[in-house]
Structure 1
Amino acid sequence: MPHGFAQNYLGFLLAKASHITSSEFHLRLKQYQIPISSWRILASCWDDKRTVSELVEMVLLNQPTVSKSLDRLAKDGLLERNKDIENRRQVFVSLTPKGKALMEELIPLANTHEQQTFSHLSQEEKQQLTALLQKTITGK
């Protein structure tokens, strides 16, 4: 085990692990001309529609940055915003068919990248890591 504060500080280790595990995939996104913020939004909307406030929380960006990204993604035809029928002040964001098609191309790349990045871990270790990270995020 490395010695020193930074080498054992969980926040530092999480940041470094995130950088190491994400940087190569971010280069792939660049080939598709997809900004990281857009990837996070599209991935967050993959399985369900989301409110803007949910996206802000999920993608780790502030409201103005998310709104700007949403504008760009809508302009590119990748997502759409729809007002909630019951609560007209609430807006839901969902993928368009074009956005779904793009994600159907990107998700396998992300899965392959994840498999390669974590190939040194057993399936049980990956499940443990996932559970620990989810517990850290939720605080439960």
Structure 2
Amino acid sequence: MSSQDTEKVLAELQKDEERAKVEAKTTVQNLKVELTETEAKLEKLLDAYLGEVISAEDYKARKESLITRKVELGEQIRDFEQKGLSWLEPAREFVLSLNKAANLIETENKEVMTTFLKTIGSNHVLENRQFVFAPKIQYKLVA
């Protein structure tokens, strides 16, 4: 991949990152609002049970569903906050490695090429006296 193309793709990835951050922030805010509402429902449910407005069976059933939802929301919030945009860095590394591969082809430096191929995780195999090259999955797209 040429340097110009690499810069264009990296710029697009940067835009995607900014958009994804905004979307993730909005999603986390919405999840936190829903979590607060679920906690409020749990408190109202407990008050209704303590005030003997609902039976013990109804209380247990509703409580179980609300607690399940509360746990799900907490996990979703944690995932968004911890994992965030984990796909962006591997995408950047992939694009930069494509640019490096193009530059290496032009230099024809076999030692550096060998090191680079080991780095990207290519698998070289001799099969029936034939040299077989099996790139990692993402590199199959450009091989």
Higher share of residues assigned helix: 2
Quick check: TM above 0.5? no
| TM-score computed with the length of structure 2 as normaliser | 0.27
Larger radius of gyration: 2
Structure ranking higher on relative contact order (CA contacts 8 Å, 6+ apart): 2
